[in-house]
């Protein structure tokens, strides 16, 4: 059974209160060892008409990799992306359902390697990524701490 993940107020990808953002909602699938979000990207996120902008695709993949850390931890276990390699396999459409999936490949107390992919409804992978995640610098960790009280699960 999937369980909902919390989200922030203002994040571009998951922010509940970010009117210009994607407002994704994420779930843990512990049995599969993955996190998932299903969305339909609005046309405002296109690079070419009907096709999601590559930066938006990368942002979704990045979010999935970071959120995969929540499978075995909590808010304090979040990391930042130090390196990410994206392979764009085919166009990711706007105005069509897509699923973003993330998983941890390897993890230590200070670093992790994660993977993510975007799938169409028929299972076709449009983009995939692998990234190196690391503990955030102190100034970033301090900013996150201020958001902690507002980190909640959407009902």
Place of tokens 């902690």: 148
| Count of structural domains within the chain | 1
List the beta bridge partners of residue 3. 28
C-alpha span between 130 and 148 (Å, rounded): 27
C-alpha span between 96 and 98 (Å, rounded): 6
Range of the domain at 105: 3-153
H/E stretch holding 80 reads strand 80-88
Mean pLDDT value of segment 11-25: 93
H/E stretch holding 11 reads none
Residue 152 confidence (pLDDT) = 85
**Which two three-digit tokens encode residue 130?**
């692998």
DSSP, collapsed to helix, strand or coil, labels residue 139 as helix
pLDDT digits (tens, 9 = 90+) for 48-58: 999 999 999 99
pTM: 0.94
C-alpha span between 80 and 143 (Å, rounded): 13
Closest residue by Cα to residue 23 from 34, 32, 33, 15: 15
First to last CA, the chain: 16
The sign of the dihedral angle between the CA atoms of 62, 151, 103, 41 is: negative
| DSSP code of residue 19 | T
pLDDT digits (tens, 9 = 90+) for 78-135: 899 999 999 999 999 999 999 999 999 999 999 999 999 999 999 999 999 999 999 9
CATH number at residue 11: 3.10.129.10
73 has a pLDDT exceeding 80: no
Residue 141 confidence (pLDDT) = 85
């Amino acid at each position: 059974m999937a369980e909902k993940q919390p989200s922030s107020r203002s994040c571009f990808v998951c922010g509940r209160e970010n009117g210009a953002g994607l407002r994704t909602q994420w779930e843990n699938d512990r049995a599969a060892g993955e996190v998932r979000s299903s969305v339909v990207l609005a046309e405002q996120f296109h690079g070419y008409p009907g096709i999601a902008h590559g930066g938006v695709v990368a942002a979704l993949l990045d979010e999935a990799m970071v959120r995969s850390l929540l499978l075995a931890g909590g808010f304090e276990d979040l990391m930042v992306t130090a390196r990410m390699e994206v392979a764009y396999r085919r166009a990711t459409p706007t105005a069509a359902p897509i699923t973003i999936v993330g998983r941890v490949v390897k993890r230590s107390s200070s670093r992790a390697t994660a993977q993510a992919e975007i799938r169409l409804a028929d299972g076709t992978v449009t983009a995939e990524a692998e990234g190196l995640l690391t503990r955030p610098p102190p100034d970033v960790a301090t900013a996150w701490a201020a958001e902690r009280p507002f980190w909640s699960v959407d009902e």
